[in-house]
Amino acid sequence: MDQLVKELLQGNRRAAARLISNIENDVPEKRALLQEVFPHTGNAYVIGITGAPGSGKSSLVDCLLKKIRRDGLTVGIIAVDPTSPFSGGAILGDRIRMQDHALDEGIFIRSMGTRGSLGGLSRSTREAIQVLDAFGKDIILVETVGVGQSEVDIVKTADTTVVVLTPAGGDSVQTLKAGIMEIADIFVVNKADLSGAERTITEINIMLDMKNETQWRPPVVRTISVQNEGMDELWQELRNHKHFMKESEKLLEVRKERVRRELTEQVEYLVKNKIWEQVREGIEIETLVDRIVHRRLDPYSAAAELLEEIDFL
């Protein structure tokens, strides 16, 4: 077994950090490393926390973190920012947080940005989750800024998803992207000290009434994370949802769906790599590009020709 993986399984933090860096940088031995990590995964419960920039996700995670630790569980935190080119804990706020918790062996915090993650941020996030799972963390909190499709993809890797809204900031419930509403298992209305909180809660409830979900109606929790308020209720609802997921076998369903997606992705990745390897070996791509750009060839025929050449079609 790779030394790094061995150290990870022994609980070495530096090994965990280095493994995640290797994943982000798409090192050639990445697949082999993940293969060794995989048998040791499947024990962590993954909670996704998403919301608009500045809605209070980090403050919320910090409060929640303390509650979870008090219950004796260990926590891994992955702060994903699709808008940031920084990774590896370079996001300033997160670095300060890391110092706060540096002495607690039960906590591991990691930031991930777009830099380095050649295979896509949602993919490297998923792989980082596997590392922290094998590392032995009981709960993994994945914090993502809600800005686009990327965070919806990232959230798909969570067992429970929390959507954080605020009374202020114009993210009134009607203006929210449908995708975000669909993925919420729990709604948090944070900054409930600001005016308009009650209205936001009412709006969410009206929307939930219209959906008329029978199996699990997402609860709406009000929090003031700067005053550590509402955390008992949030942690309780998280445990309720986890219980629901396990009892109803939804957890298995969700995890199967995830594995299906990963398997498809992996197959496509391997096929793509293999094709391009052969293409690069045997074909002058630049010649084709020249011909296309001068309108002597169209890209559709060129692609077909290319695949015929390597006996793929």
Q: Which residues bind ligand GTP (CB under 6 A)?
A: 51, 53-59, 93, 145, 190-191, 193-194, 224-226
| Closer residue to ligand GTP, CB minimum distance, 140 or 145 | 145
Strand 139-145 to strand 107-112: parallel, antiparallel, or no bridges (unpaired)? Answer: unpaired
Tally Cβ neighbours within 10 Å of residue 180.
Answer: 19
* 114 contacts Mg ion (rule: CB under 5 A): no
Size of the site for Mg ion (CB under 5 A): 2
Let me know: does 48 contact 160? Beta carbons within 8 Å. Answer: yes
Q: Name which of Mg ion, ligand GTP, none residue 233 binds, using a CB cut-off of 5 to 8 Å depending on partner kind.
A: none
| Closer residue to ligand GTP, CB minimum distance, 117 or 130 | 117
End-to-end, the C-alpha distance of the chain in Å comes to: 39
Min dist CB 114 to ligand GTP, Å, is: 15
Q: Name which of Mg ion, ligand GTP, none residue 91 binds, using a CB cut-off of 5 to 8 Å depending on partner kind.
A: none
Let me know: does 165 contact 190? Beta carbons within 8 Å. Answer: yes
Let me know: does 165 contact 188? Beta carbons within 8 Å. Answer: yes
* 55 contacts Mg ion (rule: CB under 5 A): no
| Closer residue to ligand GTP, CB minimum distance, 42 or 93 | 93
Strands (DSSP E) found in 175-254: 186-189, 220-222
CA–CA separation, 91 and 114 (whole Å):
12
CA–CA separation, 221 and 243 (whole Å):
18
The CA–CA distances, whole Å, from 230 to 190, 220, 237, 262 equal 9, 11, 11, 36
Which of the ranges 57-65, 177-185, 223-231, 286-294 carries the binding residues for Mg ion, by CB under 5 A? 57-65
* 144 contacts Mg ion (rule: CB under 5 A): no
Q: Name which of ligand GTP, Mg ion, none residue 162 binds, using a CB cut-off of 5 to 8 Å depending on partner kind.
A: none
Min dist CB 123 to Mg ion, Å, is: 21
| Closer residue to ligand GTP, CB minimum distance, 167 or 219 | 167
Q: Name which of ligand GTP, Mg ion, none residue 11 binds, using a CB cut-off of 5 to 8 Å depending on partner kind.
A: none
CA–CA separation, 209 and 77 (whole Å):
33
Min dist CB 60 to ligand GTP, Å, is: 7
Let me know: does 79 contact 110? Beta carbons within 8 Å. Answer: yes
CA–CA separation, 102 and 260 (whole Å):
36
CA–CA separation, 80 and 89 (whole Å):
10
| Closer residue to Mg ion, CB minimum distance, 58 or 124 | 58
* 58 contacts Mg ion (rule: CB under 5 A): yes
Nearest residue to Mg ion on Cβ basis? 58
* 166 contacts Mg ion (rule: CB under 5 A): no
What does the binding site for Mg ion look like in residue numbers (CB under 5 A)?
Answer: 57-58
